[in-house]
Structure 1
Amino acid sequence: MEAIKKLEYGEIKIADEVIITIAGLAATEVEGVCGMSGGLVDGIVEILGKKSLSKGVKLEVLEEAVAIDLYLIVDYGVKIPDIAWKIQDNVKAAIESMLGMKVVDVNIHIQGVNFPKEASRDNPAPKSQKSQS
């Protein structure tokens, strides 16, 4: 199902993939979002690059509005309620300004936490040595 806007001289049809891409990109722009997740349906949480934003976004197109579910992985240490509000605001603003469609829901589903990689304990970084004269 695609979004349709009726205008005086005809219709504008917006493919779901366009809305999904805008929502996914707007979500990953927020600092602290590590990536998108395939959601519970896929069974495996996978960190995706910007080319696969659609796997972490579910879309419901209503008459002239949309409802969006985002499945995300966040960085360790972020305040999840704060980042969720920022994501909701960013996604809503992006869709409303770019497409002129009303956004009725932006539901956030945190599917995982990305932990920072620690330096290998077996191979610590070499220390610089000064030559002694």
Structure 2
Amino acid sequence: MEQQETVMREDKNNLGSIRIADDVVRVIAGLAATEVAGVAGMSGGVVGGITEKLGRKNLSKGVKVEVGEKEAAVDLYIIVEYGARIPEVAAKIQDDVKNAIERMTGLKVVEVNVNVQGVSFGNEFNEEDNRVK
């Protein structure tokens, strides 16, 4: 797979250019999203009707970005924890991802779309198994 790089800005004193790969923006967005309370993990998408839950090791999964010279748009696919207020979690993700990308890269984030792909029930299954014994 070809790695795409985006020129962010040219140095005014002709020392060269700064290039940031799209994968870097994906990782920043993924990390910012997974740090929000209520996010169980990122979703790699729906394959065969089953949503694949991914851990912190692959933070760019579940994140799509479009990066221009000065702006970026982000689509996130997440799994929320059972009991979390989805609108509040999604709004916090939008704020945190936007701030992280803008602070670290200097790009202006024009949109952050949050797609909830599933709900994680955590340890509830273990509690039910203990009760049935």
Give the TM-score, by structure 2 length.
Answer: 0.85
- Work out the CA distance in 2 between the residues paired with 1:63 and 1:99: 11
Q: Rg bigger for which structure?
A: 1
Q: Which runs of 4+ in 1 moved over 6 A?
A: none
Q: Deviations over 1:4-62 (max 9, x none)?
A: 1222122111011111000000000000000000124x443111111112120011112
- Work out the CA distance in 1 between the residues paired with 2:90 and 2:6: 25
| TM-aligned CA deviation for residue 77 of structure 1 | 1.0
Which residue does 1:46 correspond to in 2? 52
- Maintained 8 Å contact 1:3/1:64: no
Query: How many correspondences in the alignment?
Result: 122
- Work out the CA distance in 2 between the residues paired with 1:99 and 1:117: 38
Which residue does 1:12 correspond to in 2? 18
- Work out the CA distance in 2 between the residues paired with 1:30 and 1:39: 20
Give the TM-score, by structure 1 length.
Answer: 0.85
**Higher alpha-carbon deviation: 78-87 or 2-11:** 2-11
- Work out the CA distance in 1 between the residues paired with 2:85 and 2:100: 23
Partner amino acid, structure 1, of 2:122: P
1:27-46 correspondence to structure 2 within 5 Å: 27-40=33-46, 42-43=47-48, 44-46=50-52
**Higher alpha-carbon deviation: 25-34 or 61-70:** 61-70
- Maintained 8 Å contact 1:2/1:61: no
* Larger strand fraction of residues: 2
| RMSD after superposition | 1.4
1:56-95 correspondence to structure 2 within 5 Å: 56-95=62-101
- Work out the CA distance in 2 between the residues paired with 1:57 and 1:116: 23
- Work out the CA distance in 1 between the residues paired with 2:63 and 2:89: 17
Gaps of 5+ in 1: 124-133
Q: Deviations over 1:95-133 (max 9, x none)?
A: 01111111011000000001132312244xxxxxxxxxx
